[in-house]
């Protein structure tokens, strides 16, 4: 029983890491195709659930593949995500 549970957990963990990587690819591809985007627009473009979106965003940040750009427009700061 314990061996089966351990193998099942290991399998789920690997699948989860693959999903995070795939979701990170969706975000990267959207930014690559469209240039800088607001968080809201990027989230809508990728159609990822919040947890999946932010986990994938963290993955890209950890790898140094994403930037936050702050621009002032009409007297207010706007944040954009870019490659």
Span 19-50, pLDDT tens digits = 999 999 999 999 999 999 999 999 999 999 99
**Mean of per-residue pLDDT scores for the chain:** 86
Tell me how far the alpha carbon of residue 28 is from its chain's centroid.
8
According to DSSP, the residues that pair with 79 across neighbouring strands are 70
| Tally of CB atoms within 10 A around 27 | 25
**What's residue 12's pLDDT?**
56
**What's residue 11's pLDDT?**
52
Nearest in space to 51 (alpha carbons), one of 9, 19, 29: 19
Distance CA 59, CA 24 (A): 7
For the whole model, what pTM was predicted?
0.79
**What's residue 75's pLDDT?**
85
pLDDT confidence band for 18 (50 / 70 / 90) = confident
**What's residue 14's pLDDT?**
61
């Amino acid at each position: 029983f314990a061996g089966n549970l351990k193998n099942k957990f290991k399998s789920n963990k690997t699948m989860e890491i693959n999903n995070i990587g795939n979701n990170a690819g969706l975000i990267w591809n959207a930014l690559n195709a469209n240039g800088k985007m607001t968080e809201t627009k990027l989230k809508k473009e990728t159609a990822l659930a919040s947890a999946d979106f932010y986990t994938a965003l963290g993955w890209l940040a950890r790898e140094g593949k994403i930037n936050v750009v702050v621009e002032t427009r009409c007297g207010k700061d706007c944040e954009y995500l870019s490659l």
